[in-house]
């Protein structure tokens, strides 16, 4: 028997790295989905075609960050995945949790920890990203990433909503 809408909503809990007052960055953006999607389906659609300039942004990030010992991530592959489970890699993210209503992804290194949580609840897709920095490089890294992340998330959600309503 499929879960009730209340049970589904209860399982679509947004996950963050720590309480909000302990985070160095917290951003949630949402969009009403024109048709039902799981978080993984939404991820696949949002990353199927890279946003303009994103490949260059990741190249720049990798080039500068490598000078400080940060692993290159290369960006989003655009390769769709039909399923993932906890412990799998989804591009440069580690899958921490996955269900029909939640996809939680992390990247952790010596400079900062990032958690991105996609949730679907009552036809609304939300992307919540939280960051905890560990040192001066992590804090400096977040100066350009903070506004860039907000723009990228907004553009990705807008593009998803547009392509799904077409």
Tokens standing for residue 30: 């949402």
pTM for the whole structure: 0.85
Q: Which domain holds residue 12?
A: 5-165
Domain CATH code at residue 114: 3.30.530
Per the structure, how many domains does the chain have?
A: 1
Q: Going residue by residue through the chain (166 aa), what tens digit of pLDDT does each one get?
A: 333 333 334 446 889 999 999 999 999 999 999 899 999 999 999 988 877 887 888 888 878 888 877 888 877 777 889 999 999 999 999 999 999 999 999 999 889 999 999 999 989 999 999 999 999 999 999 999 999 999 999 999 998 887 766 5
């Amino acid at each position: 028997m499929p879960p009730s809408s209340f049970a589904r909503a209860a399982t679509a809990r947004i996950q963050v790295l720590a309480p909000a007052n302990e985070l160095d960055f917290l951003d949630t953006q949402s969009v009403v989905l024109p048709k039902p999607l799981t978080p993984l389906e939404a991820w696949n659609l949002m990353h199927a075609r890279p946003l303009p300039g994103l490949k260059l942004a990741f190249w720049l990030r990798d080039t500068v960050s490598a000078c400080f010992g940060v692993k290159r991530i290369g960006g989003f592959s655009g390769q769709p995945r039909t399923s993932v489970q906890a412990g799998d890699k989804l591009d440069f993210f580690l899958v921490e949790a996955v269900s029909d209503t939640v996809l939680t992804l992390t990247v952790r290194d010596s400079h900062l920890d990032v958690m991105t949580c996609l949730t679907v609840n009552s036809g609304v897709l939300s992307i919540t990203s939280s960051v905890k920095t560990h040192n001066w490089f992590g804090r400096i890294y977040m100066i350009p990433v903070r506004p860039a992340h907000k723009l990228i998330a907004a553009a990705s959600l807008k593009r998803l909503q547009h392509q799904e309503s077409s």
